[in-house]
Chains A and B, each alone.
Chain A
Amino acid sequence: MKDFPKYLLNRVGLPNSHTLATYRAEGGYRAIEDVLKKPWTSEQVIGVMKDSLLRGRGGAGFPTGMKWSFMPDITKDPRPRYLAVNADESEPGTCKDRVLMERDPHGLIEGCLIACFAMRAKAAYIYVRGEYRLSYNRLQAAIDEAREAGLVGQHILGTDFSCDIWMHKGAGAYICGEETGLMESLEGKRGHPRPKPPFPAGSGLWKSPTTVNNVESIFNAPFIVRNGAEWFKSMGVPKSTGNFLLGISGHVNKPGVYELPFGLTARQIIDEVALGVWKGRKLKAFFPGGSSTGLLPASMADVVMDHDSVKAAGSMFGTAAMIVLDETASIPQVMDVTARFYDHESCGQCSQCREGTQWLHQIFRRIAHGKGQMSDLDLLVSLSNGMAPAKTICALADAAAIPTLAAVKHFRHEFEECIRLGRDPLRNESKHAPRLHEAHA
């Protein structure tokens, strides 16, 4: 693999990388200083973000600059506006934001300041996943430190710009990572996603214009502001620019979080970055971007890892959380576990999702335990088509339906064999595998 410029994780390895001193020594808070002292206009910041073609790193890949520009004109709409940073990283397989929050919290804070400046937001709320205790503590300490140094709060760096950053700890619900569910949760209600429209930019937190961004998207902002859109576009592929954080897990020799440019193939990533499938086994399948993205078989490992190519291959880039499965993995069991997750995490508002995620799980569980019927496979497809696309308030139903459709499409033979034999030939009979009667109903 050829060498490429890195920027996201440069500070992460430094000693005391989470402190203001280290961050300052590495040129931190230079971008917001630039923006405030030069001074830039909000439109200029949004312009450079738009020009950089940065795509949101939270899963959908929506252009961040474009999202910022959706905020209503301040001269016509005097409501306060907010930035919400989605740090409720709970997509199975994803662990990238955690690295940034634990090891480089000031980078996120500076990104928040820039985003708030660009959108004229008076406050940013960082919604941190409840289990991320270290992230929360480090971020809170960093915010306190920055506030002390006059970088957060009133009259930042002696200018007219004021912006506060507040933290909120989630309570462990996956659905609160959905942007409208996150806003409900931030407001102190049940994390039930809201129907759109109205979109957050029109009516978000406390009915005010709000933008919800992923940690990594916000983290990119200071770099783009300092180095320019052209620098950013020089990395990656034309439609997916910059570097991204890949979280690779599963049956590989070296799982972890890596900074990579767009444009590598999945096989390159597995073999060269994660040093290949473990125990000398062969690759069977992989989730390209978290469990909500469709499973791809080994034969499709030459797909280029960028938003559009993965989509063309019938899956999604998602949060770039690759989950690698080797030849001993049983797809029915993988889907049993995956479906169980969505059954457990559905908020229960929409009929299709509440009942459908449970139903999918029940069917996958039966098949994985050798109690399936051949008609189940068509039923799985039919149910998934009844749940998605876009038939529910949020995308959780889609997230359960997409991997189901992909698994049945690519691994139908494996399900059929399970059903025909009345048992799973690849079943891992470890004591940790749940038995049918004790599995979560």
Chain B
Amino acid sequence: MTKIQINGREVEADPKQPLIRACHDQGVDVPMYCYHPGLAPVGSCRICQVEVAGAPGQPSRVVAACRTPVSEGMVVSTDTPKAHDTRRECLEFLLKNHPLDCPICDKAGECDLQDYAFNEGQGKGRSSEPRRKLEKRKSLGDVIVLDEERCILCSRCVRFFTDVTKKAQLTVEGLGSHSVINTYMDKPLEGNYQGNLADICPVGALTSKKFRFQARVWNLSKTLSTCGECSRGCSISVESLRAKQVKRIRPRYNAAVNQWWMCDTGRHALAPLTRALAPEGEVLGGRLRTAAVRGYNGLECSDDVAALDLAADMLASHPGTLVIVSPFATQEEAKAALALAQALKATPQFVSPAPNALKDDLLHTGDPCPNRRGLLELGFGALAPADALAALAVAPSAVLAGERVLELLGHAGLALLPKKLRLVAFDVEASDLASLDIAFPVPTHVEKSGHWINVDGRVGVLNVALPPPALVRRLDLQLAALTAKLSAVPQGS
């Protein structure tokens, strides 16, 4: 470690990291546009300029902190008039051609240009020249749209493809004040990581097509969570609007798992989280609202205590129950399922669909089971959907528990199960199956707290981003209640 002085404080800095990193590590705010800790620094935006004292007798210098290595005894000031002036001048240049369409810009509220202009900029522009007119909405593929006018040419997006996905797709085209970002040969962007461009763009130049004009970011509540689309378990922030709907999922920095990035599959997996409820009083046609029990006219809404009693009776009178959980089950739910399996003298198992083709070298593991490792560690057996269906076809009764368990087993296969099978399902959505006798609603993984264990054994935390629908209770509590009922019911009666 190297000793340097930042704003009069003696601190230790990593000599392998640029000066800006040392400042940020010390909680000293140095603005940045082109610099991103996950990308190679280029030092082109010049907004991170700080004052560094010269050798004795020499005047101090203003340097770009992102391209200046830390050296022993360096005396750095970020807060002097000279440093502020340099950054203010730099901002004025950056804002000269910026359209200032913040009121209609998706980035407004989390825009670095807006923030630093507010902190350090001057109140009034001095330019009377017309602003640059460029293309306002240029599609760069299915995910991203580019606003050339807003772009400040920091080249983070260009470097994202060269440094992170290692497949260059974007470039700066043109020279000087005519530079614009473009793809090579105007081809649309490819790959599963395009969504990250909207995150790393410091201004509103690259925005997500899916999130465009969906919400003002200051109205979004952000909840720390974990992505469930593969066993990588990227750390994410689930952003919901007025506690009603998840509008956006973004990666959150986790050095050990996903760093700053996440794939588009996880980012755009909003459909399972934004499913509408079934109509009032109905079981099918949307998310399950309440417990449902098979009556004369098929599945009918029921009181959940009564449904639970019925389920306990039914399972107790049909011994040899299969207990199969969803790979989305959290450790807490899995433990409750384990207790239930013990009470039913069953072998705990989980649905383990085959790996998908989304596997890549960066993050996606191709394994659709977010908690595979955790379930295996708890002693659950992995069961391919086909094997699970075969076992169900000959079982007297079964409990299927967890988010998406029916979907992962396959509705087509489930529909073929014999009617005599006594089936209790805990899932987000019920299905019109002849064998399904009792169904209980469960929260989605953004509506509950819990833990998953990822492919490398890292624990991922789930937090409640949205309240679950009114009568939907936590799965682990429901399973525990069922276990308790079962031990109260005399076995084999």
Contact = CB atoms under 8 A, between A and B. Distances in A.
Given A195-B67, A352-B90, A354-B153, A393 B43 contact: yes
A358 B179 CA distance: 12
Given A190-B172, A348-B174, A362-B129, A355 B86 contact: no
Given A197-B69, A379-B126, A357 B177 contact: yes
A358 B93 CA distance: 10
Interface string A349-375: 111111111110011000000000100
Contacts of B175: 173, 344-348
Given A190-B172, A357-B176, A352 B89 contact: yes
A391 B49 contact: yes
A195 B176 contact: no
A390 B64 CA distance: 11
A386 interface: yes
Interface residues of A, number: 33
B15 to A, nearest CB: 13
Nearest to A373: B128
Contacts, number: 91
Contacts of A386: 86, 89-90, 92-93
Interface string B373-393: 000000000000000000000
B69 A343 contact: no
A177 B47 CA distance: 26
A392 interface: yes
Contacts of B93: 351-352, 354-356, 359, 386-387
Interface residues of B, number: 34
A391 B63 CA distance: 7
A394 B337 CA distance: 65
B61 interface: yes
Nearest to A345: B176
B340 interface: no
Interface in B129-157: 129, 152-153, 155
A281 to B, nearest CB: 35
A50 B152 CA distance: 45
A346 B177 CA distance: 7
B32 to A, nearest CB: 12
Given A197-B69, A344-B175, A362-B129, A350 B49 contact: no
B129 A393 contact: no
A354 B177 contact: yes
Interface in B176-192: 176-179
Label chain A's interface by main secondary structure. helix
A418 B233 CA distance: 67
B71 to A, nearest CB: 10
A347 B69 CA distance: 24
B176 A350 contact: no
A357 to B, nearest CB: 7
Contacts of A391: 46, 49, 62, 86, 89-90
B176 A344 contact: yes
A348 B177 CA distance: 6
Interface string B21-61: 00000000000000000000011111101000000000001
A350 B46 contact: yes
A350 B96 contact: no
Interface string A372-411: 0100000100100111001111000000000000000000
B223 interface: no
A100 B356 CA distance: 65
Nearest to A359: B96
A174 to B, nearest CB: 10
Interface string B155-179: 1000000000000000010111111
Contacts of B179: 348, 354
A361 B64 CA distance: 26
A355 B96 contact: yes
Contacts of B219: none
A349 B129 CA distance: 21
Contacts of B89: 352, 385-386, 391
A265 B97 CA distance: 44
B177 A349 contact: no
A195 B45 CA distance: 12
A152 B118 CA distance: 61
A374 to B, nearest CB: 13
Contact of B90 (A346, A351, A362): A351
Nearest to B175: A348
A376 to B, nearest CB: 9
Contacts of A387: 93
Which of B44, B45, B128 lies at the interface centre, i.e. has the most chain A CB atoms within 10 A of its CB? B44
A387 B90 CA distance: 8
B69 A346 contact: no
B46 to A, nearest CB: 5
Contacts of B90: 351-352, 386, 391
In the A-B complex, the 10 residue pairs with the smallest Cβ-Cβ separation, listed nearest first, are: A386-B89, A346-B176, A348-B179, A358-B177, A355-B93, A349-B44, A195-B43, A195-B67, A362-B129, A348-B176
Interface of A: 173, 190, 195, 197, 343-359, 362-363, 373, 379, 382, 385-387, 390-393
Interface of B: 42-47, 49, 61-62, 64, 67, 69, 86, 89-90, 92-94, 96-97, 126-129, 152-153, 155, 172, 174-179
15 contacts: A343-B176, A344-B175, A351-B46, A351-B93, A353-B176, A355-B94, A355-B97, A359-B96, A382-B126, A386-B86, A386-B90, A386-B93, A390-B62, A391-B46, A391-B86
